[in-house]
Structure formats: C-alpha cells, structure tokens
Amino acid sequence: MTATNIPLSGARLWDSLMEYARIGGTPKGGCNRQTLTDLDGQARALLQRHAEAAGATLTLDRLGNMMLVRPGRDASRRPVAIGSHLDTQPTGGKFDGVLGVLAGLEILRALHEAGVQTEAPVVLVNWTNEEGARFSPPMMGSGAAMGIFTEAEILAKTDAAGAVFGDEIARIGWKGDADPALLQGLGAYYELHIEQGPILEREGLDCGIVTHALAQHWFDVTVTGEDAHGGSRMEGRRDALMAAAECATMIERAALAAGARATIGRMTLSPDSRNVVPGRVWFSLDTRHDHEDLLAALAATLRGEAAAIGARRGVQVHFEDFWISPATPFDATLVGNLRDAAKARGIPHRDMPTAIGHDAVYVARHLPAAMLFVPCHGGLSHNEEESITPGWAEAGLMVLADAVLASAGLVRD
C-alpha cells in the first residue's frame, strides 16, 4: 500500500476538534453535549454544513443517524463508510467520538479539494446516542440500524426526566425519513477512536489496530434483606448493604482470578435513611472478557458465591441479565488495510482488542468493519480532562484515510 497524496491536513482536523468542542464546552475544558439536546442539534447542523461544503449530501434516518454521502464513479458499488458519534457524556472530553467523525470530515474535504473521485461512494456517519448517557442503553443508533434493537423500542425510550427519545429527536429537528436499515447496505465501515486506555501511550505507539471486541455481560443485582432501626443490635441483622459490600469484594476477587474486568458503576439503597439498616440494595455490574466461555463461567461463579453470601447473612441476592454482547472479531481485510497503512507511513503501531463498546462493534456483526485507536493521555476518557496530541490525531487521520481509500478505490485516469 502506498500513502495517499490527497491534501489531508492535521492542522485543519485539530482546528475542527477545537471548534466542535466549544459546542457544549465546560469550564474545566471538557464537553457536555448529550444526545438529542439542543447542543447536539447545533453540532449536527455544523457537521452538515461542513460536509455539504465538501461535496457530500445528507441522508437522515428516522433515528437521527446522519449519512453524509460523497458519490463514487460506480454507483453500483456498496459505499465505504467512516463514522463515530458527536454526543458526549455529561462531563465528557473533546475527543471521544468526535475525533472519528471529524477525521472522516477531513477525508471528505481533502478529496473535494483534490478534485478526485473514488470508485465507490464514501459515506460519513454520525450515529445517534452512542454514549447512552441520557437515554440507555448505549449505541442505540447503530444497534437499531443493524437490527439488534427495534426502531420502535428505541423511539419509546425515556430519559431520567421522562422525555421520550422519539419526541426529543423530532423536537430538535433531526428525525429523518430514511429507514435505519439502509445502513446495512454499507460495503465497509471504519472507525477512528481514542483508546480510552493507557497502553499505546505507555508503549510509545501512535496507533492501535483493533482486531476484536471483548465479550460483555451486564447485570442488575438486587440484594433484599430487612429494614431495621439503626440502634438495633448488629447480631442477626439482615443488612442488605453489608451483604452487597461483601459481594463487591467477592466480584473483584473473582474477576481478577478469571482475567476478566468487572465494574460496579451504580448503587442505590432503600430506604436511604441515616438511622435505618438498608433492607434493599440495587447495583449495576459490568463484566468483560476476551472469551465468551470464560465470561459465562465467571457469571456462574458470581451467582454461586453471591448466593452463599446471601444464605450466610440471611438475605437474597438476585442477578438479572441486563445486556449481553458477544466477542466480536473485526474484518480481516479491513484490519489488514489499517495495518498496511500504518506500516507504509512508518507509524508505530500494534494490534490490540477493545474492551469498550463502540458503534463499530454492532456494525461488525453484520458488515465488514474495523477500528483504529490513537492514544489518549493517561488513558483518561469520559472526563473533562481527556486529552490527546495533534500528532496522535494526525497519525490516526493518515492511517484511516489510506485504509478507507484502499477500500473505496481512487479513480485514476
């Protein structure tokens, strides 16, 4: 593979990142641009203006997924897509998701400026609600487009304030007419993202070629005991919180022993009074592993040990499945294109998995897809202090562009 000679600009990409960061910018330097808010609508409108100025045309589906299409010479060829998301966490950073969208925009701009055509159409995709911060679960737009969720169930989702997804997407003016399943017609999909981990920076590498996504199994865990007065003797209490705390340390121990990852991200207790022994505790549990069979074995271990804790303490511990995502390989040909592009440009890189869900993971269940990581300082993400260097952004852009154009094919007269 030879390096692409279209006029890609790392400086322009960086300027774009800073421009979009001002939409929802926070005092601490991060970004709060949650899905289907007015700020999300502003960022979408800016992306549309920029992409149309670069020769693309917007197609908008009923879930708000944006498809900015640059025609190819051969309209019969399936489009090659670049994508990610513009929505953020409430205290998010400037690069999570938006880097992948704006790198795709820079590729469209460079093609337009060069006045060259690709054989296949090139599509820039902004997926709706990747983060899942306001409406849960995450990756709704890509999940529904790939048939993992139904359109109806996504449109009916509500946020914590009771706002309905379908109503909100119409309110901000970003509900289109196209069928989300239209995106199943893509021929290839590439996504550039920050690593959200420390490996690349620690090893002094500029890119990570993502070979597969880890399996994930999320649970709702409920511990049911008995309310009691805070002045009652501790012997004989059926304290749901103390049982939950023992379950938490057990989960950490079991996950470490299994080579897995486990996170308790949320916890609520009832009746939530200073002088009442909690009779009920609910917590979320997120587990991840390279191998589905070992993740399933971990789930069985956790259920069994939690039941033993419950029996000893006189409480019930119930695990309910919340979400399961299988281990997902990325397409070998597209992964090879990214690897070859990094080698051709002399960019230090390595193969690696992703432990984090991305839109590309859902796309990869149905279509050829691949992911590329660039480092972020300290692996810090979903945080206002999330940061990368202009050099890392440019390295990702160059590798991404070469791989995308290897798939789409430049027209050579």
Which letter does DSSP use for residue 79 in this model? P
- How far apart are alpha carbons 260 and 262 in whole angstroms? 7
Q: Quick check: 313 and 243 in contact, CB under 8 A?
A: yes
Tokens linked to 213: 């996504």
Cα separation values, 22 from 25, 109, 117, Å: 5, 21, 33
Residue 57, CB half-sphere, CA atoms under 13 Å: how many? 4
Q: What is the tens place of the pLDDT at every residue in 209-242? A: 999 999 999 999 999 999 999 999 999 999 999 9
Write down the number of H helices and E strands in the chain: 12, 16
Cα separation values, 361 from 82, 87, 143, 330, 336, Å: 14, 17, 9, 8, 17
Report pLDDT for 413.
66
Report pLDDT for 1.
72
Report pLDDT for 2.
72
Report pLDDT for 195.
97
Which letter does DSSP use for residue 281 in this model? E
The ranges assigned to domains in the chain are 10-214+327-408, 215-325
Q: At what angle do helices 38-53 and 98-114 cross, to 10 degrees?
A: 20
- How far apart are alpha carbons 48 and 66 in whole angstroms? 9
Write out residues in the chain with pLDDT < 50, as ranges.
none
What are the φ and ψ backbone dihedral angles of 113, each rounded to 5 degrees?
-65, -35
| Fold equal for 10-214+327-408 and 215-325 | no
Tokens linked to 99: 């880097």
Tokens linked to 385: 């202090």
Report pLDDT for 3.
76
Report pLDDT for 388.
98
Fold of the 10-214+327-408 domain = Aminopeptidase (3.40.630)
Fold of the 215-325 domain = Alpha-Beta Plaits (3.30.70)
**Nearest CA to 370 among 343, 339, 326, 393?**
339
- How far apart are alpha carbons 287 and 302 in whole angstroms? 11
Cα dihedral value 358, 360, 365, 369, nearest 10: -150
